Structure 1
């Protein structure tokens, strides 16, 4: 099957790879490490992509994009994730925060928020999960109450990635009680610099920035900070999650590392047990399966017909791929030659990084159990 998407897409891939080689250090493994230079690298690279019109490629020109197709943006997404995401946390603003503001924001909100995202100058975090409201997001308790001409927000969020570095938060809070818990939820766009917001990092093997608690203590916001219609934020959230879950092209990194294994091992590849080589081949097949499911969801999104079950099927495939390929890659890395060459050291570091992140794959952005429930509901409804 041909995955090239045509000559223009191939040229775009070559351009992006050349930019990565020229502007990203060879030992780069992502922005969210203990080394502040890694974050600085992603900030510079994001601005470089923006200057070349490559950061928000598929955005309308009026908002700082190039009116490119969703498939060209997919090329960017795949190349960035294959090379350890040198855009850092910008994918969040590019993939779904910006597009959501385009569709549901006021003219003032568009003018305020879209240009900085398109220039690669701002980082967003997502204020969704809470200590007792993770997979059951609609049960959240962070409350926003009317206070004169604005709102006062109190509550706590957890597992908030990038909260220590973000300038803005896409925050979901309860503004009313309804017959169903999905009713009475509202989205607010709030600045993380407000002194009423406290961020407490949660140390983990994923490194800094990824896991944080965020506390809101009488945070005052105005009506201008409300995105969309008050009490009707759940429909927007469902849309957001569909874009978020397909916007992380982890299959591209899996395939990149799996394809690299034979050349890294060199002559030792022939000594790899047949069973392990067979599992390696199956993982490559599963990469293509996840890619096809991602493309299906993208096509449906482009036509405005995507359903939760479509996204759930992709998420199930890509998260299990993440974990299964991590195990295969770890065994292959153990087969590499000693003493270690620079190439082998680099490969082992990449595999270790991939393995650590894969541990959280079936929990992040909605647990795999919830994805299976969503898919089952769709299948039962269609039967």
Structure 2
């Protein structure tokens, strides 16, 4: 039976993290991916501060620059960071799933080269998965790796690639088998992004500058030392990647914070809201805390090595629906101030808008909601 009572060391960690956020993150900070380059620099600087105190890669082994902490301390870290508009910025991928996957599948050379810089908050990664004709159907990818002496040449296109404009490395899926081989013909490559044969084209969107991109590979070089796992064995790695990715985002913590903030932010105007809106607010708050408990169940299973992919899919479905429910409730609460305000005094309204914009894309991020439901349904009827 899972005991949800928080250990003393977890509570101490929360207070320590909140003090660091209070000291280093401005009240007006709403994330790293804005038109203001200072926001990205704030995130990069804060990541390095966490790295220096071994708080960044909290659960990683100390030999890789981590803190050797428990998964529950890591969960608290995720919650505190997401509640504070993720002041680690674009470090999310390297920290939450690229690092753990490298620990599981990487050789000693790969681990020693890549893990300590991630743990120090010094290097950014992006994920080269989706393509114009291979999004939800990822095994349909066409980007190919051609064998040459000493390594591989990458040819193809990726799309919706978060953080590619700023990333130093890319965790790339490419085809090394025939198109017919699908899952059995995919390999993972660790690609150095600082090459003339790689072109990054930002995609304008309401998610903010620096966020999503197209990436073109026209013969980019990957030496043999940067092949992760075996040739044509990338799909089993992908399954782990998706599980780590789907439980690594504690967006319920931001939902809870914004909902709890609403009565204070509105002050006397809170009592004037329609009764039906008060009821929707209370229902959303209950849902956010239910999703937190579901997240804890998934963390406990992962901690014991018993994580079922269906559990990760169920959590992802729940937190996605929560995101959008909370976004709509909050937008109705703030009303006309919810969109477009740049008034620095109206921080709550700006935070609500930021949450609403991201919630619109949540049903397609990390696998569409339909694919999550399909994965869960297949598991429930006995398909693997």
Report TM bin, short chain: over 0.9
Q: Deviation per CA, 1:278-323, whole angstroms, max 9, x where unpaired?
A: 1111111111121122112211212222222111100110001111
Name the residue aligned to 1:163. Answer: 164
Contact 2:142 2:179 (8 Å CA) reproduced: no
Corresponding residue of 2:227: 226
Residue 254 of structure 2 is matched in structure 1 by 253
Cα shift at 1:249: 0.8
User: What is the CA distance between 1:6 and its match in structure 2?
Assistant: 2.3
C-alpha separation between the residues in 1 aligned to 2:334 and 2:263? Answer: 10
Q: How far apart are the structure 2 equivalents of 1:300 and 1:243?
A: 12
CA-CA distance at 1:326 after TM superposition: 0.3
Provide the rounded CA distance (Å) in 2 between the counterparts of 1:172 and 1:306: 24
Matched, 1:22 2:30: no
Which residue of structure 1 lines up, in the alignment, with residue 148 of structure 2? 147
- SS of the residue aligned with 2:166? coil
Q: Secondary structure at the match of 1:116?
A: helix
Verify the 8 A CA contact 2:28 2:344 in the aligned structure 1. Answer: no
For 1:78 and 1:322, locate their aligned partners in 2 and report how far apart those are by CA, in whole Å.
Answer: 15
Give the corresponding residue for 2:43: 42
Which residue of structure 1 lines up, in the alignment, with residue 124 of structure 2? 123
Q: Relative to structure 1, is the Cα distance of residues 210 and 335 closer, same or farther in structure 2, using a 3 angstrom cutoff? A: closer
2:120 paired with 1:103: no
1:181-260 equivalence runs, <5 A:
181-260=182-261
Contact 1:272 1:335 in 2 (8 A): no
Runs of 4 or more consecutive aligned structure 1 residues displaced over 4 Å after TM superposition? 1-4
The aligned residue for residue 371 of structure 1 is 372
- In the superposition, the TM-score normalised over structure 2's length comes to 0.95
Superimposed CA distance per residue, residues 78-106 of structure 1 (whole angstroms, 9 cap, x where no aligned partner): 10011100001112111111111111111
C-alpha deviation, 1:180, in angstroms: 4.6
Native 8 Å contact 1:175 1:186 kept in 2: yes
Change (3 A) 1:262 1:3: farther
Offset, 1:149: 2.4
Deviations for 1:208-260, whole angstroms, at most 9, x for unmatched residues?
11110000001121110101111001000110110011101111111100000
Shift of 1:178: 7.3
In 2, Cα distance between the equivalents of 1:61 and 1:239?
23
Native 8 Å contact 2:57 2:67 kept in 1: yes
8 A contact 1:144–1:173 mirrored in 2: yes
Structure 1 distance, partners of 2:349, 2:3, is 30
Which residue of structure 2 lines up, in the alignment, with residue 262 of structure 1?
A: 263
Relative to structure 1, the CA distance from residue 134 to residue 218 in structure 2 (aligned partners, 3 Å threshold; closer, same or farther) is same
TM-score (norm 1): 0.95
Tell me the SS of whatever aligns to 1:173.
strand
CA distance in 2, matches of 1:296, 1:230: 35
Task: Give the equivalent residue in structure 2 for 1:72.
Answer: 73
**Structure 2 spans left out of the alignment, 5+ residues:** none
SS in 2 for 1:89: helix
Q: What residue in structure 1 maps to residue 346 of structure 2?
A: 345
Distance 2:165 2:101 in 1: 23
CA distance in 1, matches of 2:308, 2:186: 21
Q: Which residue is equivalent to 2:295?
A: 294
Q: Which moved more, 1:263-272 or 1:175-184?
A: 175-184
**Retained in 2: the 8 A contact 1:185–1:234?**
yes
Deviation track 1:325-376 (CA, whole Å, cap 9, x = no partner) reads: 001001111288xxx9x89610000000000000000011100000010111
- SS of alignment partner, residue 382 of structure 2: helix
Specify whether residues 4 and 194 from structure 1 end up closer, same or farther in structure 2 by C-alpha distance, changes over 3 A only: farther
Distance 1:53 1:4, change over 3 A: farther
Q: Determine the C-alpha separation between the residues in 2 that align with 1:146 and 1:191.
A: 17
CA distance in 2, matches of 1:363, 1:288: 23
SS of residue in 1 equivalent to 2:230: coil
Find the counterpart in structure 1 of residue 316 from structure 2.
315
- How far off its partner does 1:4 sit? 5.5
Shift of 1:207: 1.1
Contact 1:330 1:351 in 2 (8 A): yes
Asked if the contact 1:264/1:343 (under 8 Å) is kept, the reply is no
8 Å Cα contact 2:140/2:179 also seen in 1 = no
Instruction: Give distance in 1, aligned partners of 2:9 and 2:202.
Output: 43
